[in-house]
Each structure stands twice: as structure tokens, then as C-alpha cells.
């Protein structure tokens, strides 16, 4: 059961038809892994903490830099040179003391990544390079864990949900069968601050929908945003029958 404090804190979403007590309890019982505590990870984690996701595991091996503060809204100037995961965990706990925010300040790779993903109910990919995204995707497919993926650079962003462990659902690798090409990083190509907030908020919304079993997720769909035109486009995605990641796993 929810405490009186929880009933008041989450009252606005408890009023939503179909969400109610069951949805809130589903969030409280969930463990979400957020990989990347920067422009996307900050707004996504803040909204998930505010919504009452019980455990948020925050993974990032970088420190807060001055150039981050233009868009990474969880941090202040006093956080400079601090580990991002630690600073974000403290911000989330200050926002909602009822959730468990756990920082991981080392780089996730290999068995460590596999274990972190396998221990999660859902994963948010808030990273900025293809190698890491592909590694997270492989771990999610192997563990049968839903993946909410976001990306943003310059004035363009994208977001989708991948459940490659399920029949008829693509994984992230299906979207980029040729390896994704050259990485476009914000440090080299630039990015406008509100864009990452929009994509990160979309990731949080998709996570809540999947965790609570509500609405229609972006599984099988890719949303593309041109922020300069404020124009959204949608692409339908299907599984690649020759995908080296999801085509060879036992479907659940």
C-alpha cells in the first residue's frame, strides 16, 4: 500500500484513468538503469524520480564541466569537477527522498554492463556514441530488458523503445545494420539546450508507460525531431531477420 505521503506526492498522476494505485506501485517496484547522466539523462532521471520509480541506477564515468551547464539541468556551478552520477543521485534524492538513487561512477562494459542490465526492469540509453549504444542494446536483448533510446545533437533528436527480445519487435541494431556510421558528438557538432530536455522528457514518458503498462509505447516506431522547424516525423521499424543481435536470440 501507498503511505499518506506517497498518496499526496503522486496525487496528480494517481488521478489518471488507468494509472491509479496499480500504476504507482508498479513504478515503486521498478529498477531503472540510466546510462549517461548528461543532457538526456538529467531530465529523464529527474522526471522518473519525481514520478516515484523506486530505484534509479545512474551510470556515468565523467565529471561535471562548465560547458555542461548550458543543458545538463540537474547540475549547478558548484557541481563542477564532481562525478556526474554522484551529483545527479544527490539531486534526485533531494527531489524525492522516497526513491533510491544509486550512482555508478565507473565505465559500464563487459560483464559489469551485463549484470547491471540484467538487474534492471528497464534501461534508458542516454549516451552519445554508437559503440556504447550497441553494447547496451546487446545486453538488453540478452537479458530480455526493454530499452528506451534517445539521441540529440545540433537541433535534431530521436527517441524509440526497443524490445528485441520479443517477437515482431526490432532492437537498436536493426535500425543501424551497417554500424551507425560516424558519431556526431555535442562537443564537436554543438547542441541547443532545450532539445535534450525534450528528448529526455520523452524517454521518461516512454519508460513510465512501459513500466506501468499504459498507453502505446514507441516499440516499432522511431520519432525524429527537427527542433528548428519544431517538426516531428515518425518512422515505422521492423525487426531485421538477419540482425546479428536479436535474430539469433530465443524470442520471449
Residue with cell 540509453: 125
> Quick one: cell of 89?
543521485
**Strands laid side by side in the 100-104 sheet:** 100-104, 55-59, 31-35, 122-125, 147-153, 156-162, 221-226, 231-236
Closest CA to 201 of 249, 153, 238, 152: 152
Closest CA to 179 of 247, 130, 124, 232: 130
Beta strands in the chain (DSSP E): 31-35, 55-59, 100-104, 122-125, 147-153, 156-162, 221-226, 231-236
Return d(Cα 170, Cα 234) in angstroms, integer: 15
Q: Is 61 helix (H, G, I), strand (E, B) or coil?
A: coil
Closest CA to 85 of 115, 110, 116, 111: 116
Exactly one of 37, 126, 140, 186 is catalytic; which is it?
A: 186
Q: Is 134 helix (H, G, I), strand (E, B) or coil?
A: helix
In the annotation, is 37 catalytic?
Answer: no
User: So which residues are the catalytic ones?
Assistant: 186
Amino acid at each position: 500500500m501507498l503511505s499518506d505521503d506517497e498518496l499526496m506526492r503522486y496525487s496528480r498522476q494517481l488521478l489518471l484513468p488507468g494509472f491509479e494505485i496499480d500504476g504507482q506501485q508498479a513504478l515503486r517496484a521498478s529498477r531503472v538503469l540510466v546510462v549517461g547522466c548528461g543532457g538526456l539523462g538529467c531530465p529523464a532521471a529527474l522526471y522518473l524520480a519525481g514520478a516515484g520509480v523506486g530505484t534509479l541506477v545512474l551510470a556515468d564515468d565523467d565529471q561535471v564541466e562548465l560547458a555542461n551547464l548550458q543543458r545538463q539541468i540537474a547540475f549547478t556551478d558548484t557541481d563542477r569537477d564532481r562525478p556526474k552520477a554522484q551529483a545527479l543521485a544527490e539531486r534526485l534524492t533531494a527531489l524525492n527522498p522516497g526513491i533510491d538513487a544509486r550512482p555508478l561512477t565507473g565505465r559500464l562494459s563487459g560483464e559489469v554492463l551485463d549484470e547491471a542490465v540484467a538487474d534492471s526492469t528497464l534501461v534508458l540509453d542516454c549516451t552519445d556514441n554508437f559503440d556504447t549504444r550497441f553494447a547496451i542494446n546487446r545486453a538488453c536483448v540478452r537479458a530480455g530488458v526493454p530499452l528506451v533510446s534517445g539521441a540529440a545533437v545540433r537541433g535534431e533528436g530521436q527517441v524509440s523503445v526497443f524490445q528485441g527480445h520479443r517477437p515482431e519487435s526490432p532492437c537498436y541494431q536493426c535500425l543501424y545494420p551497417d554500424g551507425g556510421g560516424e558519431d556526431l558528438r555535442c562537443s564537436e557538432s554543438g547542441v541547443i539546450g532545450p532539445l535534450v530536455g525534450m528528448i529526455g522528457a520523452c524517454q521518461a514518458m516512454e519508460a513510465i508507460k512501459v513500466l506501468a503498462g499504459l498507453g502505446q509505447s514507441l516499440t516499432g516506431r522511431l520519432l525524429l525531431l527537427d527542433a528548428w522547424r519544431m517538426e516531428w516525423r515518425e518512422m515505422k521499424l521492423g525487426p531485421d531477420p538477419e540482425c546479428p543481435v536479436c535474430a539469433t536470440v530465443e524470442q520471449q
